[in-house]
Every structure is written in structure tokens, then in C-alpha cells.
Structure 1
């Protein structure tokens, strides 16, 4: 039988980084459960939040780059972001501007927001600020809730 605690102890932060990165790119993964498990298992809460936030942010940067280069096949086939989702996000950008990037953490549409940022050639420096704030806020919230148990 596999002991999850041993795996976390040996590979915890690496697993968290990989899972958080992939959760923000092409795979339909969630990293919140691993964040909660690590906090409950008494990993350093600040380290968990930082690792998850940075990795998830870097995944969003990858999505931005894919949008920036206009790789439609990757967007439609592998990321499974429809043209309709992109159009909806573009309308959100027109209406709310960069503030919409705070919501890249949302399931289902978050990847589309990051891709649309690239497609629209949104200023990368501003992209990084809004996206990192949104990602960090989500992981702080998850870690806080998990720490209550």
C-alpha cells in the first residue's frame, strides 16, 4: 500500500510545483487538494502558498505565450478552449481591462483568460502583476481554510 505521507515528505514541494504548474496549463488538474493536504499535514504554510502560487503563475505565463504566438491548434485541441470562450473573455477584457486577469484562477475559464491576454497582446508586465495577485489570493484562501482543520 502506498503511504501518502511518505510521498509528501519525500516529494511534497516538487509534487506541488508540478501539479500547480500543470493545473494552469493544458491538463484538467486541480492543485487545491494537494495544497490543503500539505497544510493539514503541517508543511510550512508560507512555503506551500509560495510554491503553489509561483508554479501556477508560471503555468499561466505559458498559456499567455501560447496565445501570444497564436497557436490555435494548441489552444483548441490540447487546452480545449473553444473560440466561444475566447470571444467571451475578449469581451470581458474590453469591458473590465486587466482586472479580469485576477480571475485566471477560475476553473473552466481561467486558462482562456490567460490565453486571451496573449492573443490580445496585453502588456506582459501588467499581466504578471494581476495574474500573480489572483493566484496567490486563491492559494492563501485555500491554505487558510485548510489550516482551520
Structure 2
């Protein structure tokens, strides 16, 4: 079973789950796969980034969908209020920080809720996550 998950596809799934509202740790798996030297670094970077971006887009979409069901005042959690303030002030650029633990998921969720431009969100999320994974690869290769 572990061989099934300790590969680029397992990394993709770990990255996807890690960037939704569920907890996960794709960075540790990426570091292990890089250190093992069994897979091309470009493939690991691609799988981690695509999986993590897709998860963030799912979270963005959840925010977009929930906004249809509840009024904006329902964003009463402190992390959602903080994310709302940042997004209203900086727009999609704040999604460069979507990779951060704890605040990244609320940023994506609130961006969807506020209907931040999807393309601008995709670009910012992708750039931030790509750079984060590139740094991890650089450290462990």
C-alpha cells in the first residue's frame, strides 16, 4: 500500500488534500521523494503544484457556492474576517500567500465568496505554490 502512495501520483493526491479545508502534509512527502532521487524533479514539482492548486480552486469554488446560500455577514470566523480584509485591500495578489498554513485555505475560500476574478486567482495561487514547492525541492535535492 505504501508503494502506491509514495510516488508522484501519491504526491498529487497529498497536495490536493492538503490545500482543501482538510489537513495534510504534502511538503514532507515531496521532501522524501526528492531525497529518494527516484523521480525527475520536474515531475515532482508539476504533480505537487497541480494538485495543490486544484485543491485551492476547489476551496475557492466552495466559497463561491456558499456565497449563494448565505449573506456576506455570515463570515464571522476571525480568520475569514482577516482574509476578507486582506482580499478587499489587495485583491487577487493576496492569493500569492495561499500556500501558508492556517491562513491559505480561508484566503481561497473568501476569495471565492467575494468572487475575486477566477483567472487572477488561478495565476496568483499557482505562482505562490510553485515557488514554495521549488524552494522545498531546492533544499532537499
TM-score (norm 1): 0.84
Q: Structure 1 residues 53 and 15, CA, compared in 2 at 3 Å: closer, same or farther?
A: same
Unaligned residue ranges in structure 1 (runs of 5+): 73-80
Q: Tell me how large the CA RMSD over aligned residues is.
A: 2.1
Aligned partners of 2:119, 2:57: CA distance in 1, in Å?
Answer: 11
1:49-68 matches, within 5 Å, as 49-68=45-64
Q: Which of residues 1, 12, 21 is equivalent to 1:17?
A: 12
| Alignment size in residue pairs | 135
Aligned partners of 2:31, 2:16: CA distance in 1, in Å?
Answer: 16
1:75 corresponds to which residue? none
Q: Which of residues 23, 27, 32 is equivalent to 1:32?
A: 27
Aligned partners of 2:92, 2:104: CA distance in 1, in Å?
Answer: 13
Aligned partners of 1:105, 1:82: CA distance in 2, in Å?
Answer: 22
Quick check: 1:96 aligned with 2:114?
Answer: no
1:4-60 deviations in whole A, cap 9, x for unaligned?
Answer: 6xx16x750111011000000132111000000001001211110110000000000
TM-score (norm 2): 0.88
Aligned partners of 2:21, 2:80: CA distance in 1, in Å?
Answer: 15
Q: Does the 8 Å contact 2:45/2:134 carry over to 1?
A: yes
Unaligned residue ranges in structure 2 (runs of 5+): 69-74
Aligned partners of 1:109, 1:50: CA distance in 2, in Å?
Answer: 23
Q: Which of residues 135, 141, 146 is equivalent to 2:129?
A: 135
